[in-house]
Chain A
Amino acid sequence: MKSALTRYRVLAYATGVFLLLLTTHVLVQWYQASSEGLPFADAPGLGRWIPGAEHWVPITHGYLYLAYVIVSVDLWFRTRLPFTRMVLVVLAGTIPAMSFVAERWVTARVRPMLAAQQASSAAPRTPSGT
């Protein structure tokens, strides 16, 4: 469960960063399109300063989000956090900056589980409960 949490956290940050990059790219594109009279699709966005960014930012974000969904669901299988909340966590990866919030929420919930797991592996099993 610990490594699943780590995987989740890494991807939550990576997806979050790339979604912010993607959002910036689209906003810049929109600005360029309106200020320079270009069709939106032809505006270079971040590609003007970072070569090829208009291709690899969306592509990378796509794969990162896919991985984010997979590790989120994997974490859910291991922790059985409330299912609807996990759906929200997965959706958070599509809203700029929300994956950071989701990451805080998930980490705050899973850490006590990890602590309990460690305690139980040290001590004989007792019925759970707080």
Chain B
Amino acid sequence: MLRTALKPRWLALLAVVLVAAAVMARLGEWQLDRARQKGEHEREAAARARPVMPLASMLTPRTDFPSADADRQVTVSGTWDGEQQLLVPGRRLGDATGLWVVTPLRLADHSGVPVLRGWVPDAGDVRADPGALPRGEVTLTGVLEPPEPVDDLQPGDAGAVPAGQVALVAAPLLVQHWHFPLMTGYVVQTAATPAPSGPAATLHAVEPTGAGGGLALQNLSYALQWWLFSAFGLFFWWRVVRDDHRGRLRPAAAGTAPRSPSNDADGRPKAHDEQRVPTPDAGDRP
């Protein structure tokens, strides 16, 4: 069997089949990616389409994040606690790496919610200055996001950041800086009234990243189909080789010159050893 499989024509066919299988596997991956993207997009769009709700109606301090409410639009009123603002390093905006500006908004019951106000290119950027934040009651609208997963942290990461910074927007890390009842999850600010004045008004907003999750069934299906095609190609090669091994295909020497891989499966039989069928005429099509 191995010696049959190592015949040049079957090796050539194997090469073709492997290339096709690799391409199809890649296409499957691409569809899986599309399934994730579209699923995420659909889930996010559905979440955004739901009515804007007061934050307090879906989230209270020290409770688990309600994952069904991820990416929903929320409003929340409170006062900025600018003194306790933190920066989150290593965050991208377009092609640049900078820091997120996360400021707690204190609610009437003294609890707080982390608000992602924007992005700055470096820690000293004046636009992040919490001194410019308005005193007194502010009302925010924004998008509610689940806490960032702390599992992503490498050991030591959490302590490796400079003072005034935090590695992730996640309650387990934030509570080490903020000593008040804290909401899990955070709000990506889209608007604030009153808005900060001065340079702080030009702080770069951050696009909500989306909570992830959701798979579009259609693309998932396409992905699976590509992989099945890919596997079938390999099976096909194995069948052809096995048939050759069992002598059901005519040896290549009996025909003309070696055939190209695309039709080398000896497609023009003149006689069949077992089935004794009339030779199909290869020439005409209806």
Chain B residues with Cβ under 8 A from A120's Cβ?
276
Q: Which residues of B contact A104 (CB under 8 A)?
A: 286
> Given the known A-B contacts A63-B225, A128-B271, are A116 and B217 also in contact in the complex, defined by CB atoms under 8 Å?
no
Q: How far is the CA of A1 from the CA of B280 in the complex (A)?
A: 15
* CB within 8 Å for A83 and B271 given contacts A117-B277, A128-B278: no
Of the four ranges (under 10, 10 to 19, 20 to 34, 35 or more), the interface on chain B belongs to 20 to 34
List, in ascending order, chain B residues with CB within 8 A of A128's CB. 271-272, 276-278
**Chain B residues positioned under 8 Å from A40 (CB to CB):** none
Q: How far is the CA of A78 from the CA of B225 in the complex (A)?
A: 25
**Contacting pair B221 A62 (CB below 8 A):** yes
Find residues 82-102 in chain A having any chain B CB closer than 8 Å to their own CB. Answer: 82-87, 101
B200 at the interface (CB under 8 A from A): no
A66 on interface, CB distance cutoff 8 Å = yes
Q: Is the beta-carbon distance between B218 and A66 smaller than 8 angstroms?
A: no
B232 near A70 (CB under 8 angstroms)?
yes
Residues of B within 8 A of A78 (CB): 275
| A48 adjacent to chain B (CB < 8 Å) | no
Once bound together, how far apart are the Cα atoms of A80 and B273, in whole Å? 12
Rounded to whole Å, the gap between the CB of A25 and the closest CB of chain B is: 12
B222 touching A62 by the CB < 8 A rule? yes
* Distance between Cα atoms of A87 and B222 in the complex (Å): 22
A113 and B275 form a contact (CB under 8 A): yes
In the assembled complex, the Cα of A101 lies from the Cα of B272 at a distance in Å of: 26
**Residues of the A chain whose Cβ atoms lie less than 8 Å from the Cβ of B266:** 80, 83
B254 CB, nearest partner CB in chain A, Å: 14
Interface residues of A (CB under 8 A from B): 1, 55, 58-59, 62-63, 65-66, 69-70, 73, 77-87, 101, 104-105, 108-109, 112-113, 116-117, 120, 125, 127-130
